[in-house]
Amino acid sequence: MKTLMLSTAFCATASLAMAAAHAMAPGVEASDQAVENGMVTAAKVIAPETGWLVVHRTDAEMAPGPVVGHAALEEGENMEVSAELTEEVAAGDMLMLMVHSEAGGTEEGVFEYTLGATEDGPIRVDGELVMTTITVQ
Domain ranges (residues) in the chain? 27-135
- The yes or no reply on domain 27-135 and CATH 2.60.40 is yes
SS3 call for 19: helix
DSSP, res 118? S
Helix (DSSP H) and strand (DSSP E) numbers for the chain? 1, 9
Neighbours of 53 (CB within 10 A): 26
What is the full per-residue pLDDT of the chain (137 aa) written as tens digits? 554 444 444 444 444 444 444 458 999 999 999 998 999 999 999 999 999 999 999 999 999 999 999 999 999 999 999 999 999 999 999 999 999 999 998 999 999 999 888 899 999 999 999 999 999 99
Helix (H, G, I), strand (E, B), or coil: what is residue 91? coil
> The whole model's pTM is what?
0.83
